[in-house]
Amino acid sequence: MQISPTIRVSAVAIVCTLAAAQGPLAMLTTASRIIPPSSSYRAPSTERLVYSVQWHMFNAGTATIMMQRDGRREHLSSTADSQGMASKFLRVHDTFDANIDPRTFCTQDISKHNEEGARRMERKIYFDYPHAKSRVDDKDLKTGNLKHAEFDIPSCVSDVVSGFFYARTLPLRPGYSQVFPVNDGGKTTDVKLEAESFEKIKGPSGEFQTLRVKAAPISGPMTGKAELTVWLTEDARRVPVQMKSKLGFATLLFQLREIEPPPTATPTH
């Protein structure tokens, strides 16, 4: 899994981090699995998050994530676009779409479109859980070359963006930890999520009391090479108002610029 030195919203940089409903402290979950949401959980009918992205103090671009209810499914879409000086080095326009079963939070299928410099690719992924396989079709938009591959998967996986919304179904409190499987079409990666401590932060969209959460891969080639820290509002919505991604030499800072619908005031200690 690769990441551009400017802005790449996919990959482990943005996985697993959206938000979590408050609840009692849970025991460490050592087995890698997706925990189905409680019967009281209601996925958002619509939620749109827009971030400014900085790379080494430069404005690198904009990232947008939206979740919408689509019948019995939840549809997630995200975009990443480079801007300013970053575009002069490497122009990026990436889109990502996924369908999720809200009862289990298993990702059903993914569609990706990547434009990064001269690279133009499309990828479609279907998760065949009854047969424990992911079926991946890649198309090089410059050459027209097609490639098909299949990989073994567990009984349920999240993906590199829907992990945001999966995390909000968990009872995150300081000390909580869980490992869950993430798949982007290749081999499944286990990601460990840890809720660390409460912290007040200030950004473009205001000042918030937050819960700081860290996520990192613990299996696969990215082990020890990637880390994501997310600051979630200390309320029931757990809005990710800031994220910091470290991948190799690159550090990206995501700061929330817009949110629809807007959050309510967060409590202070």
Distance of alpha carbon 120 from its chain centroid, rounded?
22
In this prediction, residue 263 carries a pLDDT of 61
CATH label of the domain that carries residue 114: 2.50.20
Is 123 within the bounds of a domain? yes
Is 266 within the bounds of a domain? no
In this prediction, residue 51 carries a pLDDT of 95
Is 150 within the bounds of a domain? yes
pLDDT less than 50: residues of the chain: 1-29, 265-269
Is 101 within the bounds of a domain? yes
Is 250 within the bounds of a domain? yes
In this prediction, residue 33 carries a pLDDT of 93
In this prediction, residue 264 carries a pLDDT of 57
Amino acid identity of residue 89, one-letter, is F
Measured distance CA(108)–CA(128) in Å, rounded? 8
Which of 242, 219, 178, 171 is closest to 16 using CA atoms?
Answer: 178
The set of residues, in sequence order, having a beta carbon less than 8 Å from that of 101 and lying 6+ positions away, is: 72, 73, 74, 108
DSSP, collapsed to helix, strand or coil, labels residue 165 as helix
Look-up: residue for tokens 């401590």?
A: 197
Is 20 within the bounds of a domain? no
Is 33 within the bounds of a domain? no
| DSSP type of residue 91 | -
Question: 90-100, pLDDT tens digit by residue?
Answer: 788 999 999 99
Question: 97-121, pLDDT tens digit by residue?
Answer: 999 998 899 999 999 999 988 999 9
Amino acid identity of residue 231, one-letter, is W
Is 14 within the bounds of a domain? no
Domain region containing 74: 46-258
In this prediction, residue 164 carries a pLDDT of 76
Q: What is the tally of structural domains in the chain? A: 1
In this prediction, residue 1 carries a pLDDT of 33
